[in-house]
Chains A and B, each alone.
Chain A
Amino acid sequence: MLAYVIRRVAQGALVLAIVGFVSFSMFRFMGDPLENILGQEATVLDRQELEDRLGINKPVLVQYFKFMAGALQGEFGVSYRNAIPVAEVIAERLPATLELALVSGIFAALFGIALGVYTAIRRDGFLANFIMTTSLIGVSLPTFLIGILLIWVFAVELGWLPSFGRGETGTMFGRPSSLTSWSGIRALILPSVTLGLYQMTLIMRLVRSEMLEVLRTDYIRFAHARGLSSRAIHFRHALTNTLIPVITIIGLQVGQIIAFAVVTETVFQWPGVGSLFIQAVQFVDIPVMAAYLLLVGSLFVVINLIVDLLYLVIDPRLRVERGAGAH
């Protein structure tokens, strides 16, 4: 078991080392940042001055150590595009992304489990069948089309909800947050539904099929025979037994949510790190791209590690000494 934990941690460290290497290579060897900032009409003097300021005329090795040491302290250099420190921009925008990801994750889990249970219990009901069919189409829709569709219906035609921005933000944990005001919460609804819809469908289908399997087992039949209410059977006995794979899926999907936050943030002009990254790609703003890569990379490594360790807690078979390959 200890060997398993050590191997997983080592694997995570390796991934991080590779991500760090890619990130530094981008930072150092790509494009001509001077031309990007100054344009083609700059004088030689301008170029030299900027070279000194950005430190890209020093030896590669020096730059590498500077980069790694800086990254460990949350220091990623200066954005080529607007000449502010990258760490500052990211610190300003990260809370918005985390808030959006968190709210859509909660939305996906709550509605996914509720609809999954419903469609499993009312297996042949009209509404259950309707939900299942719609979910199939929902999965095939690209995220950005879902976002546009929601904007069209709820912002343009009905005018119920705002289509962009975070609304009024108050302060929560020392950071601006949309959850503190009514207009902020209203602004959160469409983006988080857009971002969480795919995961919601996924969880719903998983819960449904697991529920259907559990409902067929003997202990559920005995529970019925013992005269327990169907509410107690469905929620206390059946649902709790389906939650193990659901938790795993939720964990693994956190990465997907972070990735597709890039899309959702662009559609809804949400001021998070995702839209920052897309702008960085458009303008070839390498320090921002490199920092985002390192940030998201470490996030994924941590999430995967947590999920892997959760397997240990959930699946006792893994705790017995076993060779390679958890999945």
Chain B
Amino acid sequence: MNSQSTSSEAQAEAAAPKGFLRRAWESDIAWSFRHSPVAIVSAVVFLVLVLGAVFAPLLAPYNPFDPSTLNLMDGFTVPMGQGLGSGELYWLGTDDQGRDIFSTILYGLRISLFIGLMAVLFAAVLGVTLGLIAGYFGGWIEAVIMRVADVQITFPSILIAMLIFGIARGLTPPELRDQMAIWVLIVSIGLSDWVYFARTVRSSTIVEAQKEYVHAARLIGRKPGAILRKHLLPNVMGPVLVIATIYLALAIIAEATLSFLGVGAPPTKPSLGTLIRIGQDYLFSGEWWILLFPSLTLLALALSVNLLGDWLRDVLNPKLR
């Protein structure tokens, strides 16, 4: 046993340059990933969508936000059809103003993903901070934070996001509303979801704070802030990652819903939800492609993140719900 472990250590030392990659490949997570077709397919779909969003300016054949490139005569071109004005080929067709649907989807994906990621980040930072504080200090601080969480959790988060969006809109001057809309959305969705992070982190902090390393840190005189950041934070982050993936899917859907309802991303910076809102107007006149392709993209995005989140939850922590 002893000799075995030293020999494997020697092996690891010998393979030092690619040690990390190799260890990652041989880890439990990677093994379960390789053996789950659903996870692989979702990861590929998600990766393609993320790359499409990141490189949208390079990949998109047209810039949908530059009116000078629009040709009104190309309006309502069918998918794989040639525009009447320019004679150019549009893969997914064009909208009423001759805007290339494929390009608007790439840019819309960019905005949807950005808002989703930032909202989850915001919710996670806020929730983890408050959860750590509540769990570590206890007393009235904990009572206040968790009471607020209890009250908030009685309301569905989409309603809270709408309400915060409305309040923030009321507080911003009308001429800035469209510019601020994306940031307002991030804050609204983030504020509506912090509770779930705070609850989990609080309960794991209470458990961790009883352990010896925390007592030891306190004995050598580390300040509470340092104990929270350096000692407790790394040990409560495991479940946070899982919650973050699950709430990424929810945040993307929440953003799309708000934008669809007209209380989200403005038409000048359309997200996927805004595009679907616009496309819905053409459903009855037969221009189905304006609606269908953004909807499919949103569906692929939400579904792939959802399935990845489910997989990750099962792998990392089977006990977590």
Contacts and interface: CB of A to CB of B under 8 A. Distances in A.
Co-complex (A, B): yes
Interface of A: 11, 14-15, 18, 26, 30-31, 35, 137, 140-145, 148, 151-152, 156, 255-256, 259-260, 262-263, 266-267, 277-278, 280-282, 284, 286, 289, 293, 296-297, 300-301, 304
A277 B263 CA distance: 11
Contacts of B283: 148, 151-152, 156
Contacts of B166: 280-281, 284, 289
B280 A148 contact: yes
A300 B154 contact: yes
9 contacts: A137-B303, A142-B253, A144-B257, A259-B158, A260-B156, A262-B159, A263-B260, A267-B280, A296-B159
B154 A142 contact: no
A289 B163 contact: yes
Contact of B170 (A31, A260, A293): A31
Interface of B: 147, 150-151, 154-156, 158-159, 162-163, 165-167, 169-171, 174, 249, 253, 256-257, 260-263, 276, 280, 283-284, 288, 291, 295, 298-299, 302-303, 306
A254 to B, nearest CB: 11
A140 B154 contact: no
Report whether over half of chain A's contact residues are helix, strand or loop; otherwise say mixed: helix
Contact of A15 (B151, B167, B303): B151
Contacts of A267: 280
Given A151-B283, A255-B155, A289-B163, A142 B261 contact: no
Q: Which 8 A-B pairs have the closest CB atoms?
A: A31-B170, A259-B156, A281-B166, A30-B170, A259-B159, A284-B170, A142-B253, A281-B263
Contacts of A35: 174
Given A278-B263, A300-B154, 10 more contacts: A15-B151, A35-B174, A140-B249, A142-B260, A148-B283, A151-B283, A255-B155, A262-B261, A263-B261, A281-B162
Contacts of B280: 148, 267
Contacts, number: 99
Contact of A282 (B263, B276, B288, B298): B263
B299 A145 contact: yes
Contacts of A297: 155
Given A144-B257, A145-B299, A148-B280, A282 B155 contact: no
Contact of B165 (A11, A14, A152, A281): A281
Residue among B147, B170, B302 facing the most chain A CB atoms (10 A cut-off)? B170
Nearest to B174: A35
B284 A156 contact: yes
Residue among B166, B171, B263 facing the most chain A CB atoms (10 A cut-off)? B166
Residue among B147, B295, B306 facing the most chain A CB atoms (10 A cut-off)? B295
A143 B169 CA distance: 24
Contacts of A30: 167, 170-171
Contacts of A266: 260-262
Nearest to A139: B306
A300 B150 CA distance: 13
A160 to B, nearest CB: 15
A140 B303 contact: yes
B39 to A, nearest CB: 15
A277 B162 CA distance: 9
A284 B154 contact: no
Given A30-B167, A156-B283, A284-B169, A262 B162 contact: yes
Contact of B261 (A137, A141, A278, A289): A278
A140 B280 CA distance: 20
A280 B263 CA distance: 10
B260 to A, nearest CB: 5
A301 B155 CA distance: 9
B7 to A, nearest CB: 47
Given A140-B303, A263-B261, A278-B261, A145 B276 contact: yes
A283 B278 CA distance: 19
A18 B151 contact: yes
